[in-house]
Amino acid sequence: MKANISSVKDLPGTLVIFEGADGCGKSTQIAKLSRSLKKQGFKVTVSSWKDAPFIGPFLQSNEAAKKIELMVTSEANLILQVADLVYRLEREIIPALSRGEVVLLERGLETIVVRGMMLGISEEKIRK
């Protein structure tokens, strides 16, 4: 299925997106909710930010780079974050929602929109 975040409302599963600043406890709350839902018999998929194979590890190593010349530009980093989300939408999120699962998503489109706007890109352009 082609990745389209707006189409998830038509799928039988439930999508819960956790947004917030780094270190605010998103991962902790996702883990707690996941355990609780599983105990209640729900099938749960957790999709973490920057978790797509190849893309995620590159983003993490880019953020850890100590020398500016080893880093990609902010704009390129944003494009890679979009690629990470699209990869996870196509391969994790939409399939799990199609199966009727609860998907707990650590950050989503809103994070990309805010980061893009901080770079001077219009919200309309980002959402396209």
Note the pLDDT of residue 1: 47
Q: What total number of domains does the chain contain? A: 1
CB 51 within 8 Å of CB 84: yes
Record the tokens describing residue 123, joined without a space: 């919200």
Note the pLDDT of residue 51: 74
Q: Which letter, b or e, does each residue of 14-38 get, where b requires 16 or more Cβ atoms within 10 Å of its Cβ?
A: bbebbeeeeeeebeeebeebbeebe
Query: Which residue from 50, 51, 30 is spatially nearest to 102, judged by alpha carbons?
Result: 30
Note the pLDDT of residue 70: 61
Higher pLDDT, 94 or 51: 94
Percent of the chain clearing pLDDT 70 (strictly above)? 88
Angle at which helices 109-118 and 74-88 cross, to 10° = 170
Higher pLDDT, 10 or 97: 97
CB 85 within 8 Å of CB 109: yes
Enclosing domain of residue 115: 5-127
- Domain with 64 in it: what CATH number? 3.40.50.300
CB under 8 Å, gap of 24 or more: what pairs does 110-114 form?
A: 110/17, 110/19, 111/19, 111/49, 111/81, 112/78, 112/81, 112/82, 112/85
Would the pLDDT of 16 be above 50? yes
pTM of the model: 0.79
Per-residue pLDDT of 40-89, as tens digits, reads 999 999 998 877 777 777 777 766 655 555 667 778 878 888 888 888 89
